[in-house]
A and B are shown apart, each in its own frame.
Chain A
Amino acid sequence: MRSCYGLICGCGALWDVVSALPLQPRAVNVDLQTDATLQVDISDALSERDKVKFTVHTKSTLPNFKQNEFSVVRQHEEFIWLHDSFVENEEYAGYIIPPAPPRPDFDASREKLQKLGEGEGSMTKEEFTKMKQELEAEYLAIFKKTVAMHEVFLCRVAAHPVLRKDLNFHVFLEYNQDLSVRGKNKKEKLEDFFKNVVKSADGVLVAGVKDVDDFFEHEKTFLLEYHNRVKDASAKSDRMIRSHKNAADDINRIASSLYTLGTQDSTDLCKFFLKVSELFEKTRKIESRVAADEDLKLADLLKYYLRESQAAKDLLYRRSRALVDYENANKALDKARAKNRDVLQAETSQQLCCHKFEKISESAKQELIDFKTRRVAAFRKNLVELAELELKHAKVTMT
């Protein structure tokens, strides 16, 4: 157990060194207007025992900021706070809110590290160091991924013409003290859960309402189907990549045991063993790299679009909700007119609903079209990169 902790703290030290390197923005989706007026990126990240600290760096020429370039340190909870503040803001009901980055999850890696520490006695020293290196590489990969996801979220917000002007966003970028945003406690989490249940029930009711506008009706059916299929594809791709990684691990173990067999003697048989062990080592490197690339380009892409399509669905839900409200307000107005009571009140509320509905519809249309273009571009970029990488690996195998 102690050796394990040592590894994790040691890993912390390792990340300090690694994270000092400039991290390239691995934007999963593209077509962001990299406007000189507001550029956001995550320049640094530090992984501690159970949290990750991101250094958010902003370059801006907008007048509302005090300086042109500044950095703050943020944690995951503060990102979630920002996202939730967007969702809860009624003004933004007509926009696709960029999906929140997933929580940095090192549990699986930590478990493996623990198992490795426990099994230290039963392996040879070379095997142990090799497996430790592998685990560290895996840790590093997960770390890089979570940094990229947080960065993508910020970049999306910064690129959005309306969301980038949000006050909370500016506070997030600029305020260099702790935002003292605590994670939701149990009561709030329970509330959230109930809200979600109500929302999904409502969503089902609202989805049944046929839309007046053809565009939106088509979008609704499309998004529903697309979301389900992306979910399916994402799950299956995860499984595939996991088995690929397992196979690569096995090859690694074969290579090391062949190596031990080969180094015992210097007979012909042992020389043969050594050669075969080298061959396996090479195979393993390539297989694990192929698996990692697939993971990066394909699985991440699918996961991201899973979340985005959910956000788009949420937008449509909000619009349908507004439509239902509008229709209800109409009915109320008619009733009020019939009874000749509270007519003014009903009128104002009807006006509000109408206005809200039209505003949402307008922006929703634009948002959905943007979503489509972004999606196509992102898929194109990632699939092309995946193909190029696979070709590169294939060439290496052939030589």
Chain B
Amino acid sequence: MQRTSLEQLEEDSFDVDVAVTNPEKVGDGMNAYVAFKVSTRVCRKAFFSVRRRYSDFLGLYEKLSVKQSLHGCIVPPPPEKSVVGMTKVKVGMDDPSSVEFVERRRAALERYLQRVVSHPSLLQDPDVREFLEREELPRAVSTQALSGAGFLKMINKASDAVNKMTIKMNESDTWFEDKFQEVENEEQQLRKLQAVVDSLVNHRKELCGSTALFAKSMAMLGNSEDNTALSRALSQLAEVEEKMEQLHQEQAASDFFIFAELLADYIRLLAAMRGCFDQRVRAWQRWQEAQSTLQKKREAEAKLLWANKPDKLQQAKDEITEWEARVTQYERDFDRIGMTVRKEVLRFEVCLCF
């Protein structure tokens, strides 16, 4: 079974490459935004590019998750919103931290798009095609933080969480349970790792600052020293310390860019995978609910039969057939989701790991 799915994976992949480049600030003040150039190359032949902004990426993610997650696919998540970072860029401060922020965002958006196009079924999606090809996209308003759609999303999330807590699914297939446990464990450990990496980055930055101060004070000490040879030696030490400070700064930056960002990305992916498992559970819930409603309808029919009311009987029979159809459909949905999830997880393990 595993071999055939792997073979299937190889057949499904297209040769599509995307790149996100050229961040440019458009507009001024609080309405400013950063636009990126998204270039696509298909099968080494066709090549086209469009300009997109961050909310466009978010809008794409929303549309995809609404559609595809019903089928149990893992939809890669985009980089997170950052009000602080964006405000700094909007206000126009040209300091290195906002440049860094834009660079990080660009890299993350590129990774995100690359994942989307390497997924075979997502690539077929017309929304994705539209995103890559169309010149002007309608502004995705539902991604704004303080919009009606935003609130709706929050309420949905809350109700989902409650649902998960109340209804426990009895798992017939141990493969799913094992994988789920694995995913959860990995996510937990990666979160711990991320916390430590963050603290490392902070300490490195601290080290930078204190080395700079130390270099200055050594220079002053060298100045006040009588003996010329020692004075020269001390000022050279001060220079060396300054160089070290710069090295430390570079190291901290690269730690941050490469390590921490990658880790955060991976954790988000794992969360998406968990969401995928959740979808399956929800499908199961729907199926069970349909089954219980069917049961109730059958009981109602039996009662009517016993009470001998012919007209209501017909209605009841119709309802029963309707619900029977629904039950079979939900069961089929559930099985289908199960299969998709299996395929997705395998794909994840093979392709998306480093």
Residues on A close to B: CB < 8 A? 222, 225-226, 229-230, 232-233, 236-237, 239-240, 242-244, 246-247, 250-251, 253-254, 257-258, 260-261, 264, 267-269, 272, 372, 376, 379-380, 383
Whether B306 sits at the interface, judged by CB under 8 Å, is no
Interface residue ranges of B172-206 to A (CB < 8 Å): 185-186, 189-190, 192-193, 196-197, 199-200, 203-204, 206
Q: Which one, B140-148, B163-171, B224-232, is touching chain A?
A: B224-232
Tell me whether B225 and A236 are in contact (CB under 8 A).
no
**Other-chain contact of A376, B218, B221, B230 (Cβ < 8 Å):** B230
Tell me whether B200 and A250 are in contact (CB under 8 A).
yes
- What are the nearest 8 A-B pairs in CB distance? A250-B200, A243-B207, A240-B210, A236-B214, A247-B203, A243-B206, A233-B217, A246-B203
Q: Look across to chain A and name the residue whose beta carbon is closest to the beta carbon of B213.
A: A236
Tell me whether B204 and A372 are in contact (CB under 8 A).
no
Whether B237 sits at the interface, judged by CB under 8 Å, is yes
Separation in Å of the A300 CB from the closest CB of chain B? Answer: 15
**Residue picked from A267, A272, A379, most chain B C-beta under 10 Å:** A379
Residue numbers in B under 8 Å from A268 (CB-CB): 353
**When chains A and B are docked, how far (Å) is the Cα of A233 from the Cα of B210?**
11
Residue numbers in B under 8 Å from A379 (CB-CB): 230, 233-234
Separation in Å of the A274 CB from the closest CB of chain B? Answer: 13
**When chains A and B are docked, how far (Å) is the Cα of A258 from the Cα of B190?**
9
**When chains A and B are docked, how far (Å) is the Cα of A258 from the Cα of B197?**
11
Chain B 281-298 interface mask (CB, 8 Å, partner A; 1/0):
000000000000000000
Chain B 211-253 interface mask (CB, 8 Å, partner A; 1/0):
1011001101100111101100110010000000000000000
Residues on B close to A: CB < 8 A? 185-186, 189-190, 192-193, 196-197, 199-200, 203-204, 206-207, 210-211, 213-214, 217-218, 220-221, 224-227, 229-230, 233-234, 237, 349, 353-354
Q: 16 A-B residue contacts at CB 8 Å? A: A229-B220, A233-B217, A243-B207, A246-B207, A247-B203, A247-B204, A247-B207, A250-B200, A250-B203, A257-B193, A260-B189, A261-B193, A264-B185, A272-B354, A376-B227, A379-B230
**When chains A and B are docked, how far (Å) is the Cα of A240 from the Cα of B214?**
7
Residue numbers in A under 8 Å from B204 (CB-CB): 247
> Are A233 and B218 CB-contacts (below 8 A) given A225-B224, A243-B203, A247-B207?
yes
Residue numbers in B under 8 Å from A272 (CB-CB): 354
Number of A-B contacts (CB under 8 A): 85
Residue numbers in B under 8 Å from A254 (CB-CB): 193, 196-197, 200
**When chains A and B are docked, how far (Å) is the Cα of A247 from the Cα of B186?**
25
Tell me whether B217 and A229 are in contact (CB under 8 A).
yes
Separation in Å of the B203 CB from the closest CB of chain A? Answer: 4
Separation in Å of the B240 CB from the closest CB of chain A? Answer: 9
Residue numbers in A under 8 Å from B207 (CB-CB): 240, 243-244, 246-247
**Other-chain contact of B200, A222, A233, A247 (Cβ < 8 Å):** A247
> Are A269 and B214 CB-contacts (below 8 A) given A247-B207, A254-B200?
no
**When chains A and B are docked, how far (Å) is the Cα of A244 from the Cα of B206?**
9
Separation in Å of the B198 CB from the closest CB of chain A? Answer: 9
Tell me whether B214 and A261 are in contact (CB under 8 A).
no
Residue numbers in B under 8 Å from A243 (CB-CB): 203, 206-207, 210
**When chains A and B are docked, how far (Å) is the Cα of A264 from the Cα of B193?**
15
Residue numbers in A under 8 Å from B230 (CB-CB): 376, 379-380
Separation in Å of the A382 CB from the closest CB of chain B? Answer: 11
**Residue picked from B196, B199, B206, B227, most chain A C-beta under 10 Å:** B196
Q: Look across to chain B and name the residue whose beta carbon is closest to the beta carbon of A253.
A: B196
